[in-house]
Amino acid sequence: MKILVTGGIGLIGSACCELFLNEGHEVISVDNNTRKVLFGKDADNKLNIEESGISNNKKLELIDGDIRDKDTMANIIKKVDAVVHLAAQPSHPKSLEIPIEDFQINAFGTLQLLELTRQLNPNIPFAFMSTNKVYGDYPNYFNYKVVGKRYENTAYDSFNEELPVDRCGHTPFGVSKLAADVYAQEYAINYRLKTATFRGGCLTGKNSRAVELHGYLPYIIKCALIKKKYFMYGGGYRVRDQIHSFDVATAIYEFIKKPKPNSLGVYGKTYNLGGERKNSVSIFETVDAIKAKTSMKLDYEEAPDRESDHIWWISDMSKFRTDYRSWTITKDLDYIFNEIIEYYINELKLDIALKNRDYFKKRIK
Ligand SMILES: NC(=O)c1ccc[n+]([C@@H]2O[C@H](COP(=O)([O-])OP(=O)(O)OC[C@H]3O[C@@H](n4cnc5c(N)ncnc54)[C@H](O)[C@@H]3O)[C@@H](O)[C@H]2O)c1
């Protein structure tokens, strides 16, 4: 296959490029490193491809372009066998500062790619990376109790795709992604495109180029290692499930190899995508894990809630697992923490030893 990956130098994009090349496919990446423009030099994605060891791969074409450039994208879409659309303004707090640009990239950019696919190449699979922020702050409308160092939802073990997407607060990011998510569904219903939307939880890994406004787990680890004060918005009992970029890439790959329609033959399925309960961790547990692994104690200050942030999110992936039975999560929390800690120690040349590598394995039931 020849596969278009938008946002191909990003966290998930670089993992997809690497996986697809390893599987023998050709890849065209379109990414203009908007991440650096939005979040500054610490968010620069330029090293991700180089560090993945694929920059000289003859089957990889890297295009420094904007997904909103119609002519560029038309020329690519007409010659590929699949679209993996990952490019985005990815931060919900950032979207409050730049709602128009957020809309243009996330909503309009996606709509135009769908429309070009409809006009030029309507039979190919189109994977869209959406977000669990499409559910807005609906998860916060449930009851939670403190159990140990985390919140637990008193009614649900995890959230599936049945959660409502409206009548709650979103931030412009949640709205622009929801618009794109629903457009992807509509293009399947109205035009029979083979779309799917993946509603990601916390997607993570060493290529995150994390900053305060995006990439929570690597950012908190970085703060602890470089002794930077961390602002704990909404307190430390909050829970997120973590999924490694490699496992995100394999899930997307399963879909583009074999898109699954519903029982009426219509594509456009929505899938929650996250680390599930086993890979869930609270902020306080994260602080403890970093200390156990590195002896570094995080300097933090509790801060008020950020707009529409989830108190608690754990993904229920039964729907995806039913459609793709051989897919599985290969990277547990222990692996994820070690990879990110090791990466920062090397990248920032820190004199810190990583120890006690089994910390999380012992805790996961
Ligand atoms: N990281 C997470 O926790 C998370 C969670 C849920 C959903 N997602 C979604 O996953 C996808 C990938 O995110 P990521 O974590 O890899 O973030 P990322 O910022 O590393 O990757 C996104 C890439 O898109 C590029 N980009 C942005 N606007 C562009 C434009 N107009 N033209 C071309 N390229 C552009 C950026 O430069 C960046 O490299 C995004 O759609 C994001 O919304 C991420």
- Atom 43 in ligand 1: which residue has the minimum CA distance? 90
CB atoms within 10 A of CB 147: 12
298-311 pLDDT tens trace: 999 999 988 889 99
| 3-class SS of residue 129 | strand
Residue 269: partners with Cβ closer than 8 Å, 6 or more residues away:
196, 197, 260, 261, 262, 319, 323
Please say if the pLDDT value at position 361 is more than 80: no
pLDDT at 106: 98
- The percentage of the chain sitting over the pLDDT mark of 90, rounded to a whole number, equals 95
- Atom 18 in ligand 1: which residue has the minimum CA distance? 10
Please say if the pLDDT value at position 365 is more than 70: no
**DSSP bridge partners of 303:** 233
DSSP states of 135-184: GTTGGGGS-EEEETTEEEESS-SSB-TTS--SSS--HHHHHHHHHHHHHH
51: part of which helix (H) or strand (E)?
A: helix 47-51
**CA dist., res. 92 & res. 133, Å (int):** 8
- What pTM does this model have? 0.98
pLDDT at 362: 64
- Residue ranges per domain, the chain? 2-363
Task: Give the homologous superfamily in CATH for domain 2-363.
Answer: NAD(P)-binding Rossmann-like Domain (3.40.50.720)
- Atom 42 in ligand 1: which residue has the minimum CA distance? 90
State which of 5, 19, 31 you would mutate to test the pocket of ligand 1, scoring each by most atoms of that ligand within 8 A of its C-beta.
31
Ligand 1 surroundings by CB, under 6 angstroms: 7, 9-13, 30-35, 45, 66-68, 86-88, 90, 105, 109, 129, 131, 200, 202-203
How far does residue 7's CA lie from ligand 1's centre (Å)?
A: 6
21-60 pLDDT tens trace: 999 999 999 999 999 999 999 999 999 999 999 999 999 9
156-205 pLDDT tens trace: 999 999 999 999 999 999 999 999 999 999 999 999 999 999 999 999 99
Q: Are residues 28 and 72 in contact, defined by beta-carbon separation less than 8 angstroms? A: no
Amino acid at 196: A
How far does residue 12's CA lie from ligand 1's centre (Å)?
A: 7
